[in-house]
Amino acid sequence: MANGTIQSDYAFDNPTLTTPASAGLTLNTSFAQRKGNLCILYVNIRKNTGFASEQWTTVHTLDVHPSELIQISTMFNGQTATVALDTDGSVKVFAHGSAFTYFVRVVIPFFV
pLDDT tens for residues 82-106? Answer: 999 999 999 999 999 999 998 999 9
Cut 0.85: pTM above it:
yes
pLDDT, tens digit, for every residue of 56-92?
999 999 999 999 999 999 998 889 999 999 999 999 9
Phi-psi category of residue 10: left, alpha or beta, with phi > 0 → left and psi -120 to 50 → alpha: alpha
> Stretch 26-43: mean pLDDT, rounded?
95
**Under 8 Å CB-to-CB from 7, ≥6 apart: which residues?**
none
Domains of the chain are: 17-111 (2.60.40.1830)
